[in-house]
Amino acid sequence: MHHNLTPAIPGFYSDPTMCAGPDGVYLATSSFELFPGAPVFRSEDLRTFAQVGHVVHRKDQLDLTTFRRASAGIYGSTLRHHDGRFWFATTNIAQAGEGQLLFTAENPAGPWSDPVVVPGTVGIDPDLAWDEDGTCYLTWCAFEGGIAQVTIDPTTGAVLSERRSLWSGTGMKAPEGPHLYRVGDWWYLLIAEGGTERGHSVSVARSRRPDGGFEPHPTNPILTHRSTDHPIQSVGHADLVEWDGQWWACYHGTRPRGYTPEYHVIGRETMLCPVDWVDGWPRFREDLAPTFSPETALATDFSEPLGLRWVSPQGSLDDATVHDGALQLAARPGPTRPVAIRAQDLAWSAEAVLDVRDGAAQLVVYLDDSHFYALETDGHSVRALGRSIPFEQEFASVAVDDPGSVRLRVTADPAPTAMMYEPCGPDVVRLKVRSGGAWQELASVDGRHLSTEVAGGFTGRLIGVRGISGTTRVTRFEYRPTSPSA
């Protein structure tokens, strides 16, 4: 067993898709309800990835607030470069009954176009492929009938053919995430199967033509970690690219921990490995995957605009402006959204310094509106809070020393090694405040409540700040990975 596999882009960057561009490989991921949405990364060596932008970067491009819930928004997608343009095909789940969406850009860093709807293509996970004569195939996961396909005019979204069913996989649940490739004399249809949970896997079929006649690989699935002791589970939803004479696959996986059934807390993470072609079929070579060591630390005094890692759930950064060396949080009526970054490490520490002389705000670890831990301060006190619906609790509180500079810290530490069969969560979240010249821990809480296994859905933890009332100035924010043994 090769257990040295590490994420290429750690944290909640799921459903990866990649293509070769003129100056590097570009990779995009799903983002669900987060805005900006569909982050885009670039790599020249497939060892390090730098984020360059987002496909959904203007509120008027797409409404991510329709359902007002977690795990809506941008689902699985396909990023391609064709005829000098970049194309991004995706599903906004609130519009899945209308059809798939196509965005284009000359530069994948943006700006990206408004979306074009492909009417009647009901479902998720669209793919774009072109044959030699320029015919464009849209292949997607239909809600009924497995993997479907039509030919389209991608510039207008017009459907040019009858819908046909290509393949429903090998009989596992949820055949989805299709990608179609021409390699040599064959067309390959790569799909995800088994559901995005522990049974997740990748299967492939091939045909001499793009629109049917697909014969499955004799020993599908060609990639899965199900029923193994591999620390990375739920691998699947793959895409392939050829770059610099070598084929590569990107896909996602989780790192569950804790007592059975185990819990994953930072989402489905982007993995990468080389691919060999053997007897006319792709073979994933996880044993040859590089060891990735991405830089995940972030520290800012808000002397510059928010960087590309900053997002807000359900569609706006309107409540957060960087001004006079601070992130200004204005609380509005209704639920306030955190301004946050994704947790990208299994063990980490985050700190914020808040000026709450004119308001109240939180440093929050957030999975969704119903599952979060927070330190909340109003200038008089700091309270440690937890919500795991239907339960909500205040754990402890302490008086504030200086409302102009309240220092808060949250850490996620590995759960202590317990006796065998002793139930434990994936980690322990600690909520601390700087008081009387020392750090005071207000609460130490089980990380299980901020896991996908408890909350449901497809996302991972965010760490950030949110205004509760009035106006708050955040003068510093810092996130850093910590040693798992610390």
Question: How far is Cα 249 from Cα 454, in angstroms, rounded to an integer?
Answer: 30
The CA distance from 137 to 132, in Å, is 12
CA distances from 170 to 199, 221, 253, 283, 365 (A): 13, 8, 21, 18, 40
Best CA proximity match to 201, nearest among 219, 217, 222, 224: 224
Task: For residue 321, give both structure tokens.
Answer: 């402006």
CA distance 408 to 374: 10
Q: What is the dihedral of CA 53, 50, 79, 23, to 10 degrees?
A: 100
210-211-216 Cα angle (round to 5) = 75
Task: Measure the CA–CA gap between 414 and 417, rounded to whole angstroms.
Answer: 8
- Write out the catalytic residue numbers: 15, 176
Strands 136-142 and 158-159 come out as unpaired
Q: How far apart are CA 80 and CA 89, in angstroms?
A: 9
Residue type at 402 in one-letter notation: D
| One-letter-per-residue 3-state SS of 441-467 | EEEEEEHHHHCHHHHCCCCCCEEEEEE
